[in-house]
């Protein structure tokens, strides 16, 4: 299969709660291993790439240390391995297994940051997600942000048990709703479609990441820190309680 036709089907978009999958290897290179389909989310939008392992036909396992999109051909997802055994070659069938606890923490925090976005009326200029904390950067020349107020507001939204929905919109339709979006991070576009995360009545943003299905799964969170990073930049950091 040539580089021009090589692509990885993103199972994580369709089944963010699935832990394991079966697939075939389509390419092995110095960048890692590319698979026909994968549940491993590639680093992007502030969310780290997934980790886990690949289970080979002979029963051996090889650790996946990181997952990245190809810098030029974005349809290709490379799984960066601890080692590349000789048996790992194009064409073989194998099983992929996520480090599910790590992924689920990212899903919880990513959704929580969308809730934070709904509380602070300012453009978002940066994002970072970890397993126990996350942060958003806001374009705020002057700040009246209060940690206790943010913590209380997040608790109300989590306790409201709101559904988290995913839509794909044509680029033309998405362009008409840009005024509703706070993020200044470029929208992920795949085959002319923009993936949008919608918490009805609360927040709607373009996003390629993985999310929980209901805000109750976020659990208890605390606004840990509010920092002035520059004249026009306030950083708000959250952590799980």
Q: Phi/psi zone of residue 183: left (φ > 0), alpha (ψ -120 to 50 degrees), beta?
A: beta
CATH number at residue 36: 2.40.30.130
Q: Indicate the SS3 state at residue 131.
A: coil
H helix count then E strand count, the chain: 4, 16
Give the tens place of pLDDT for each residue, 27-52.
999 999 999 999 999 999 899 999 99
pLDDT category at 195 given cuts 50, 70, 90 is confident
Same domain, 150 and 225: yes
Structural domains in the chain (count): 2
Same domain, 123 and 56: no
4 is a domain residue = no
Do residues 183 and 205 make contact, with C-beta atoms less than 8 angstroms apart? yes
The overall pTM is greater than 0.85? yes
The range of the structural domain enclosing residue 69 comes to 9-98
Domain end residue (candidates: 64, 98, 132): 98
Does 181 score more than 90 pLDDT? no
Q: Percent of the chain at pLDDT above 70?
A: 89
Rounded average pLDDT over 16-28: 97
Instruction: Report the pLDDT value the prediction gives residue 142, as an integer from 0 to 100.
Output: 79
CATH number at residue 175: 3.30.980.10
Rounded average pLDDT over 180-190: 59
Q: Indicate the SS3 state at residue 13.
A: helix
Same domain, 163 and 55: no
Q: d(Cα 115, Cα 160) in Å, to the nearest integer? A: 12
Same domain, 131 and 203: yes
Q: How high does pLDDT run on average in the chain?
A: 91
1 is a domain residue = no
Same domain, 109 and 91: no
Number of Cα atoms under 13 Å in the Cβ half of residue 6: 20
Does 174 score more than 80 pLDDT? no
Same domain, 166 and 142: yes
């Amino acid at each position: 299969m040539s580089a021009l036709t090589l692509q990885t089907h993103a199972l994580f978009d369709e089944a963010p709660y699935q832990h394991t999958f079966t697939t075939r290897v389509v390419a092995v290179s110095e960048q890692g291993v590319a698979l026909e389909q994968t549940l491993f989310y590639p680093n992007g939008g502030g969310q780290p790439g997934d980790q886990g392992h690949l289970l080979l036909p002979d029963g051996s396992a090889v650790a996946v240390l990181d997952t990245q999109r190809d810098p030029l051909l974005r349809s290709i997802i490379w799984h960066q391995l601890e080692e590349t055994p000789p048996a790992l070659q194009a064409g073989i069938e194998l099983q992929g297994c996520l480090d599910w606890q790590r992924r689920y923490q990212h899903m919880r925090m990513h959704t929580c940051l969308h809730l934070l976005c709904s509380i602070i009326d300012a453009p978002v200029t940066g994002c970072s997600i970890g397993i126990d904390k996350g942060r958003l950067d806001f374009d705020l020349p002057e700040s009246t942000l209060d940690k206790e107020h943010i913590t209380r507001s997040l608790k109300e939204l989590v306790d409201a048990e709101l559904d988290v929905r995913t839509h794909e919109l044509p680029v033309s339709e998405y362009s008409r709703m840009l005024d509703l979006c706070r993020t200044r991070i470029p929208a992920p576009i795949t085959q002319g479609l923009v993936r949008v995360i919608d918490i009805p009545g609360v927040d709607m943003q373009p996003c390629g990441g993985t999310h929980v299905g209901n805000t109750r799964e976020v659990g208890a969170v605390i606004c840990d820190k509010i920092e002035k990073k520059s004249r026009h930049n306030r950083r708000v950091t959250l952590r799980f309680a």
